[in-house]
Structure 1
Amino acid sequence: MVTPLKFNTTNRSPFFSTVRQRVNAYFKDNNLSPNANGAMWGKAIFFLTGYVGLYALILSNQFGLWTMLGMAILLGMFAAFIGFNVSHDAIHGAFSSKGWVNRLLASSFYLIGANPYVWKMTHNVVHHTYTNIPGHDEDIEIAPGLIRVDVDEPLRPWQRHQQWYSFALYSLASLSWVFRKDYLKFFKKTIGQCDNTNHPRKEYITLFATKFGYYIVFIVIPLLVLDLTWWQFVIGFLLMHMAEGLVLGLVFQLAHVVEGTAFPVPVEGVGIQEAWAVHQMRTTANFAPNSPIAAFFCGGLNRQIEHHLFPKVCHIHYPAITAIVRDTAHEFGLPYIENPTFTTALASHYRLLKKLGREPVKAHAPESVGVPV
């Protein structure tokens, strides 16, 4: 049963009002828009043209089996990069100040077999509001019964090995998304606390039409055009999606399921005992903040703290506002969780999975009630 959930709203968070004022001042003082700049448009063009180009090269039938397999794997990775760098910002309304531009670029989600309408509900609304709260944030329900992240979930014998098999399960994320997840989420009665029963009629049509279109483009056409046996096609299709799923899974998990992040349990009759912004600082982590490679490919998701506090700011600006957010968090005595590299974040994720799979861990519940930070 889902516990009715509220954040402490007795007092507004001085931390959030201060950091928001400072970030707004940064854009005003430098005469900058918080939306996409030239570099951001360049990234979008690079990933979209790269994705279409790889698909066209594969269909050209001009390459050997191993080369085509390599391009299929790279195509899967580019699909993830489109999700990070184009679709994600657009669905948040961060890419442009013009709504039609955001809607157009959000449709890039259809290219990778995902549905932006469903994602907007599960991610923008539920995950960004109830981050890491068991029973509310469905993003931490990675593989119920197999991967234990919720500390209130019963501990099962096989989960003592989850630090190993979880990565294989992450690689199935894209296949699940294309064939299962969107349908399941669309027809659920609730997602988190949110009612999910009153969809516009056009969204029913769009869901099935775009999924059908994806199956035609990525299954039917390749089978008709390519000089491959059916089993060679299946291997390529599976490896494409496994590459995409592994990239997606790792980037999302390293932002919330690492050592130091909290998984708060609501107090009955009270809810979450902190302001929303303080909750975000306790449940979110950055990784590889100084890596230009991570910044380019991960679409700013390696700076997840900045993204959760300012989801309508385009990720191309996160490096510039990181110091503002970090310094303000320290000023207010709040955690600013970050792993210096991708490798250290991966090791931290591994250790947390190992711990959660072997011993009951007491859930984090903030001690202060009604105390603004």
Structure 2
Amino acid sequence: MQLKFTNTTRSAFFATVRQRVDGYFKERSLSTHANMAMWIKAGFFLGGYLLLYTLILSNQYGPWTMLAMAVGLGAFAAFIGFNVSHDALHGAFSSQGWVNRLLGSSFYLLGANPYVWKITHNVVHHTYTNIPGHDEDIEIAPGLIRVDVDEPVRSWQRFQHWYAFALYCLASLSWVFRKDYHKFFKQQIGQHDNSTHPQRQYIMLFATKAVYYFFFLVLPYLVLDISWWQVLIGFILMHLVEGLILGLVFQLAHVVEGTSFPVPTEGVGIEEAWAIHQLRTTANFAPRSAVAAFFCGGLNRQIEHHLFPKICHIHYPAITAIVKRTAHDFDLPYLENSSFFSAIHSHYRLLKKLGRRADVSAA
């Protein structure tokens, strides 16, 4: 069904919070884009990634040391995705489009395609957050993980709170070898018409994938004094680490206790404003943790990100109080888990609850 948001209560929440956030930047004469601290952080993650890759290819270390560096490389890839690619692909890193495009290309370092990501994430996920049948980001592993109460139940989902975390490890491997191709050639994503793409993007999809496979599978085999199966183990372990970090952080923002998965009303859609919908479907975690803010690229403050995706995440700590206060002023929910581990526990409990319902239905 075609879906639209209808502000039936005539809420002025979004206009008010936007005015207050705009006022914060104007009063301090601040840009909403990256500051020096953001550039330093981007340099740290990009530099760390390139350093680890160079050290591995130097062939100066033993297999176990190279394996440990492959683990670090997977972690740095995920952190580049959070801290550099994500902001740039939203146009939040710089006021200059070419800078955002250049830094957005860092997404290729993850083995992922930025063009496909902008469609599935920027357009679809950010518009239709947590709406079954529209937001495909909540289709974590169809048939294996159940987060939609209207989804057909399967008996094995009673164990999903255990095996889900193992499946998250496969997220980036799926991205590299399957997901980008599948999404690119899918005719429709939610209600977004995905049937046509610029010719250049067909070339970019296959060319950049081939380059990635060469630099991370072929070249290591050619230059390192290890066998093909050792190269493969390092590649897989790198992506298992990358996938686990990516999978966990994304799930903790939308699939935890308290977040809703609204079903559109036939012929009406969602009977509330888009911004209020974001508050009901999104949660923060570890909002007072400087460590989480540094490594997660502001994704621990997803509420602020979903309301203001074009503001660089380096500013989220400053505007969090404004958004939270405004939500309370309008008697609206503001969901947050105090720590990373409390968010994981909440995610675990929700999966267990939904799995238990599947267990009861299958009995």
TM-score under structure 1 length normalisation:
0.95
> Residue in 2 aligned with 1:262?
260
Q: How does 1:326-345 map to 2 (within 5 A)?
A: 326-345=324-343
> Residue in 2 aligned with 1:355?
353
Secondary structure at the aligned position of 1:264 is classed as coil
> Residue in 1 aligned with 2:149?
151
Secondary structure at the aligned position of 2:262 is classed as coil
Give per-residue Cα distances to partners, 1:11-59, cap 9 Å, x unaligned: 6530000000000000000110000000000011111111011000001
1:47 aligns with 2:18: no
Q: CA separation in 2, counterparts of 1:11 and 1:261?
A: 21
1:314 aligns with 2:307: no
Q: CA separation in 2, counterparts of 1:231 and 1:100?
A: 40
> Residue in 1 aligned with 2:100?
102
1:204 to 202, 205, 208: 202
How far residue 336 of structure 1 moved from its aligned partner, in angstroms, is: 0.4
Q: CA separation in 2, counterparts of 1:312 and 1:94?
A: 4
Q: How does 1:97-136 map to 2 (within 5 A)?
A: 97-136=95-134
TM-score under structure 2 length normalisation:
0.97
Q: CA separation in 2, counterparts of 1:111 and 1:251?
A: 19
Q: CA separation in 2, counterparts of 1:322 and 1:221?
A: 45
> Residue in 2 aligned with 1:60?
58
Contact kept, 8 Å, 2:159 with 2:352, in 1: the verdict is yes
How far residue 266 of structure 1 moved from its aligned partner, in angstroms, is: 0.5
Secondary structure at the aligned position of 1:107 is classed as helix
Contact kept, 8 Å, 1:151 with 1:360, in 2: the verdict is no
Q: CA separation in 2, counterparts of 1:251 and 1:10?
A: 33
Contact kept, 8 Å, 1:85 with 1:299, in 2: the verdict is yes
Contact kept, 8 Å, 1:131 with 1:280, in 2: the verdict is yes
2:170 to 169, 172, 190: 172
Larger displacement relative to structure 2 (227-236 or 200-209):
227-236
How far residue 9 of structure 1 moved from its aligned partner, in angstroms, is: 4.3
Larger displacement relative to structure 2 (10-19 or 42-51):
10-19
Contact kept, 8 Å, 1:80 with 1:247, in 2: the verdict is yes
> Residue in 1 aligned with 2:28?
30
Unaligned runs of at least 5 residues, structure 1: 362-373
Give per-residue Cα distances to partners, 1:48-96, cap 9 Å, x unaligned: 1110110000011111221111100010010000000000000000000
Q: CA separation in 2, counterparts of 1:112 and 1:301?
A: 17
Secondary structure at the aligned position of 1:343 is classed as helix
Amino acid at match of 1:78: F
How far residue 150 of structure 1 moved from its aligned partner, in angstroms, is: 1.1
Report how many aligned residue pairs link the two structures: 359
Secondary structure at the aligned position of 1:47 is classed as helix
Q: CA separation in 2, counterparts of 1:111 and 1:155?
A: 37
> Residue in 1 aligned with 2:16?
18
Unaligned runs of at least 5 residues, structure 2: none
RMSD, aligned CA: 1.1
Q: CA separation in 2, counterparts of 1:61 and 1:246?
A: 27
Q: CA separation in 1, counterparts of 2:325 and 2:157?
A: 38
Amino acid at match of 2:233: I
How far residue 350 of structure 1 moved from its aligned partner, in angstroms, is: 0.2
Q: CA separation in 1, counterparts of 2:139 and 2:15?
A: 31
